[in-house]
Amino acid sequence: MNITHRPVLLAEAVTALISGPLIQKQNTAKNILVIDGTFGRGGHTQALLKELPSSAQMISFDKDLDAITVAQKIKDPRLSIVHDSFAHMDQYAQAESVDGILLDLGISSPQVDEAHRGFSFRREGPLDMRMNTDHGMTAAEWLEQASQEEITHVIKTYGEERFAFQIAKAIVAKREEGLSPKTTTQLASLVAGVVRTREAGQDPATRTFQALRIFINRELDDLELGLKAALNVLKPGGRLAVISFHSLEDRIVKQFLQARAKVEVPRGLPVREKDLPQSALEIIGRLKPSDSEVSENPRARSAIMRVAQKRMGRLV
């Protein structure tokens, strides 16, 4: 199979899950279930399948129909493919039934490189940006009807763009002239005409395109729901590994893990340490790509993987 997408932190992600205590116990191998929340082009899924026993089962999710088409070419009876968001994984796996979960939150290279998907400001294509092209409003359709205030909010919130107001004002002005942006290059050019300064090496449209993609696909909503679902379906001792690519994602992951890795006890309450309730998660670690991986794959430079393990025994 020709996989054009290069998965980030591939070996590290596989090791993080496979080295979990449940998968390491060979006497439970027949019950192993692993979830890959974003199939992409199958790099992580196939690497995990190589390490799992023949009796294991794996579920891979993706909202992208192109990814599902690639996934269906894998002839492995252990693999189940689901065309849905990982946010709904608890609808496909029972509570405390999963040994390991991987969430790779990055957009895949084919999605960026294929102009007709509308994700890239460098390639001329329709301003679509939907992961699931069977559902929802395109970015162009939303920009055609959203208010200036709504556009400002989305670009500022999801792109952390300090020129959000000026960009939104320019988009609405073009729309009133009957020239609402319909293609990627039209929007990129419009943004470039407003954003006069930018970090070295960063295109002026980077943050705006990121913001629209996140908003159109409800990526942060899915992440928050997916993390809660993951904690629900993980077995005690099961591992969760999450690879994020920008600060908004990583902040949500970090805060979720930290909040469930500690137990709050009212100050002054006379409780002995051994009597404290147990937290839901144990944080295993945080990894970034090596210099050599970033050199070979520049798209990996912003990636951060956080790994946690669901605690055994009584949880809070």
* Arithmetic mean of pLDDT, 2-24: 84
Examine the pLDDT at 35 and tell me if it is beyond 90. yes
**Average pLDDT value for residue range 124-130:** 95
In angstroms, the CA 59 to CA 49 distance is: 11
Q: Which residue, among 174, 248, 250, 157, has the nearest Cα to 208 in the 3D structure?
A: 157
What pLDDT shows up at residue 267? 57
Residues 9-28: what's their mean pLDDT? Answer: 84
Mean pLDDT of the chain: 90
| Cα–Cα distance for residue pair 220/4, rounded to 1 Å | 26
Q: Which fold has domain 133-214?
A: DNA polymerase; domain 1 (1.10.150)
Strand partners, 281: 310
Assess contact for 208 and 181: CB atoms under 8 A.
Answer: no
| Model confidence pLDDT, tens digit, residues 37-52 | 999 999 999 999 999 9
Say what the pLDDT of residue 137 is. 96
Residue 80: is its pLDDT beyond 60?
yes
Of the segments 14-28, 33-47, 101-115, 267-281, which one has the largest average pLDDT value? 33-47
Q: 155-184, pLDDT tens digit by residue?
A: 999 999 999 999 999 999 999 999 999 999
So what's the pLDDT on residue 202? Answer: 80
Distance, in Å, from the CA atom of 177 to the CA atom of 243, rounded to the nearest integer, reads 42
Q: What is the CATH number that goes with domain 10-109+219-310?
A: 3.40.50.150
Global pTM reads: 0.89
Q: Is 5 helix (H, G, I), strand (E, B) or coil?
A: coil
Q: Look up residue 262 and give its DSSP letter.
A: S
- The predicted pLDDT at position 272 comes to 53
Distance, C-alpha 79 to centroid of its chain:
21
Query: Rounded to whole angstroms, how far apart are CA atoms 97 and 93?
Result: 7
User: CA 244 to CA 75: how far, in whole Å?
Assistant: 29
Which pLDDT score is estimated for 213?
95
In the chain, CATH 3.40.50.150 sits at 10-109+219-310
The amino acid present at 160, given as its one-letter code, is E
Are 64 and 129 in contact, with CB atoms under 8 Å apart?
Answer: no
- The predicted structure's pLDDT at residue 135: 87
Kindly tell me if the per-residue pLDDT of 199 is higher than 50: yes
Q: Calculate mean pLDDT across residues 275-302.
A: 87
Contact, 226 vs 258, CB < 8 A? no
Beta-bridge partner residues of 307: 241, 285
pLDDT at 299: 85
Q: Where does CATH 1.10.150.170 sit in the chain?
A: 133-214
**How far apart (Å, rounded) are the C-alpha atoms in residues 231 and 101?**
10
**Residue with tokens 């990121």, as numbered in its chain:** 210
Reduced to 3 states (helix: H, G, I; strand: E, B; else coil), residue 273 is helix
Q: Note the Cα 228 to chain centre separation in Å.
A: 14
pLDDT at 255: 97
Contact 60, 88 (CB under 8 A): no
Tokens of residue 167, six digits = 């960009």
Q: Which residues pair with 234 in a beta bridge?
A: 98
pLDDT band at 279 (very low <50, low <70, confident <90, very high): confident
